[in-house]
Structures are given as C-alpha cells and as structure tokens.
C-alpha cells in the first residue's frame, strides 16, 4: 500500500511539474509572440513620436505624442541596428503615395550642413514644403515654390524681426550663399537624374552633398573637380537620389533645410497622423497629479494637418 501511494504521489508531482512547465512555456511563447508583433508594427505600420522642440508650434506643441504611419509612403528597413549607430542596408516597401507638399513628416536627420552624416541617429519632424525638382525662394518671410506663393499653415508662427535682404547669415545652406532666414534662394531641390555643373566656383557648396551620395570628390592642383577620381563628363554631376525641402511651422525658431540642406527621400520614417496624448512637459514627473492636471485633453485625437 505504501509503495502504491508513494508511486501515486510521484506521478502526481511529475504531472504538476509538467503543468507548471507548460504554463511557463505558454507565458514565454506569448511574450515572444507579443514582442514579434510589436516589432512588426513598429517597423512596418506605426511608430510613436514625441515632440521635443517648438519648431512646429503652434501646429504641434512640445509635449504632444504622435502616431506616425509608416505604410503611407512605404515602410523601410531600420536605418541602424537597435541601440547602436551601426547602419543597415536600405530597403523600401511599396507605399500608397509619395511625400507631397504640405505633408508633416518624421524623418532621420541627415546631419548638419557640413557633416557627412549625423553624429547620432535622431528623428526630426517638419513640414515638406517642396519635393524633388521644385524651386524654393523666400522673400520677406513669404515662401514661394515654383514661383507661386506657398500658403502659410493655419498655425504658423513668425517673429517680429525684419531682416534686410543684404544681411547674410553664415549658418545658412549652402555655405557662402549670402542668404538669411527671411531672404533665401532661389534654389532647386535636387531630383534623381538632375545634371549639376560642379567646378571650382561651387566646389565647397556641393562637396558634402556628393559625399553623402556615396562618392569621393576632390580638386586637382589646377582646380579640376574629380568625382571617384575621374573628371566629370562635361563637368556635370548626375544626382543619384530624390530630395525634399523641409521647414518648421515656427519659421524663425526652426533648424530646417534652410540651415542643413536637402533631405533624402530615403530618410523618411513616416507621415504624422494624429495626436494620441499631450501634456505640459515642464511639469514635474514626480508629481503625478500636477502632471495629469496639465493634460491637454482638447488635443488628444486631433488629426495632424
């Protein structure tokens, strides 16, 4: 009797252990499945984004949390290995449309004017005001695209400073252009296949651009321009990508294409869709009720346009 009882208890213990192991395995499998689904959604469908600066005020406020659609323009492979700055090969899935003038877009910052690439992988959000092949000009704070006045966004902001056309801001793109924030251009947004004459007079202007497209560029002692160690046919460089011109709605408080240059279409992350949460980030996170009280309920759920 004792042996039978001992055998029965042993079998029950094994059964319980197996059930516990099965439940642990189910929990682990569910966790892995959820992680994979979340990864797929983040890579190919949607991504959350927080507004960190006031460059898009008062269309978007600091403390707004946005939902960004990746499938609108076509999802791309990650730009880098997660948690590192190691770049990955670029691949883009088909989208429903191409970026258009007026779209508010989240993108990978290409780097400052004279940088080959950004020191860190960081996302920016700006309004696309011009697409590849467009001409951009700013005259007295008024933006013109292809010679036509570009309508100001409903909540666009401008400062009260009137900068004269003769004033030159050395920080502007391209280097040495002699322009400022309110008097800029005209400048053509490069389009794939464009032919650009590059010589000693504009070498500094185009040097970083050509290198970002993956080429080497140099000048000889007699000031001839070499790309990939060869003279340019007819002195013309052929643009290899399409680009966009991005600007913040807070026009005089935005570091945008006027400062750092053209944004490659392949850097697009997605289109800003809606505000899913918003609060005042100046409130202390240590005081939950104060933070909750700063919630901007009227902004939650608003579509972005």
Which residue's entry shows tokens 């933070």? Answer: 291
Annotated catalytic residue within 55, 254, 257, 278: 55
Give the closest residue to 261 by CA, choosing from 120, 117, 159, 153.
Answer: 117
Token pair of 173 as six digits: 């793109």
Annotated catalytic residue within 10, 21, 118, 126: 126
Token pair of 91 as six digits: 């691949």
Neighbours of 3 (CB within 10 A): 7
Neighbours of 160 (CB within 10 A): 5
- Identify whether 192 is a catalytic site residue: no
Contact predicate 269/106, CB 8 Å: yes
Which residue's entry shows tokens 């500094």? Answer: 204
Query: DSSP alpha helices (H): ranges in 127-238?
Result: 203-212
- Identify whether 126 is a catalytic site residue: yes
Neighbours of 189 (CB within 10 A): 21
Active site members: 55, 126
């Amino acid at each position: 009797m004792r042996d039978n009882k001992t055998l029965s208890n042993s079998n029950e213990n094994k059964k319980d252990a197996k059930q516990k192991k099965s439940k642990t395995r189910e929990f682990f499998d569910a966790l892995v499945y959820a992680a994979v689904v979340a990864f797929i959604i983040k890579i190919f469908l949607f991504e959350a984004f927080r507004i960190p600066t006031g460059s898009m005020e008062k269309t978007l406020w600091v403390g707004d949390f946005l939902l960004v659609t990746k499938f609108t323009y076509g999802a791309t492979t990650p730009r880098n290995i997660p948690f590192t700055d190691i770049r990955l090969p670029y691949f883009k899935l088909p989208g429903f449309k191409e970026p258009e003038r007026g779209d508010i877009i989240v993108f990978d910052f290409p780097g400052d004017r004279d940088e080959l690439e950004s020191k860190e992988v960081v996302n920016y959000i700006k309004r696309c005001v011009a697409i590849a092949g467009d001409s951009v000009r700013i005259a007295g704070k008024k933006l013109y695209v292809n010679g036509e006045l570009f309508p100001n966004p409903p909540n666009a902001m401008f400062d009260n400073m009137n900068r004269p056309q003769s004033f030159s801001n050395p920080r502007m793109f391209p280097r040495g252009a002699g322009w400022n924030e309110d008097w800029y251009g005209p400048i053509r947004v490069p389009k794939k296949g464009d032919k650009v004459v590059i010589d000693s007079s504009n070498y500094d202007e185009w040097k970083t651009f050509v290198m970002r497209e993956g080429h080497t560029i140099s000048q000889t002692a007699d000031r001839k321009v070499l790309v990939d160690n060869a003279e340019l046919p007819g002195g013309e460089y052929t643009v290899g990508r399409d680009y966009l011109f991005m600007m913040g709605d807070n026009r005089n408080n935005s570091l945008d294409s006027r400062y750092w240059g053209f944004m490659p279409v392949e850097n697009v992350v997605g289109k800003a869709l809606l505000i899913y949460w918003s609060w005042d980030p100046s409130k202390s996170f240590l005081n939950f009720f104060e933070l909750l009280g700063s919630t901007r309920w009227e902004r939650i759920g608003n579509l972005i346009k």
